[in-house]
Amino acid sequence: MSTGILNGVRHTGNGLEQLKLWGRENYTNLEGYIHEQAVSDGGIVTANGSAALEFAKELLCFSKMTHLNVWKCIINLISRASANYSLDKSHISYDS
């Protein structure tokens, strides 16, 4: 269901044509679309499907996360970014 949430903010996604298809008549902010990996505007963070790390960066810059939660979030997003990516977490300290 499309609610038009992107109509008041700059945003990105998997292409303008895809946004028009998914949003149908509720998506009216074609000029707000920016061809970037990730965009943050008006409290909304958007990214395309290949931009896991850029999306994480935008979220971290936007949020007020604690030191511990920042590292947990980064590790989780990097781990999900690629099925073939192996991250040695043994050297990371979770102590603030």
Q: Which amino acid is at 96?
A: S
Who wins on pLDDT, 12 or 92? 12
Per-residue confidence band for 92, with pLDDT thresholds at 50, 70 and 90: very low
Query: Is the pLDDT at 50 greater than 60, yes or no?
Result: yes
* Span 20-42, average pLDDT: 89
3-state secondary structure of 39: strand
**Arithmetic mean of pLDDT over the chain:** 76
Cα–Cα distance for residue pair 96/37, rounded to 1 Å: 31
Give the model's pLDDT for residue 68.
Answer: 63
Q: Select the CATH number that applies to the domain covering 5-81 from these four: 3.30.479.30, 3.40.50.300, 1.10.260.40, 3.40.50.880.
A: 3.40.50.880
Give pTM, 2 decimals.
0.63
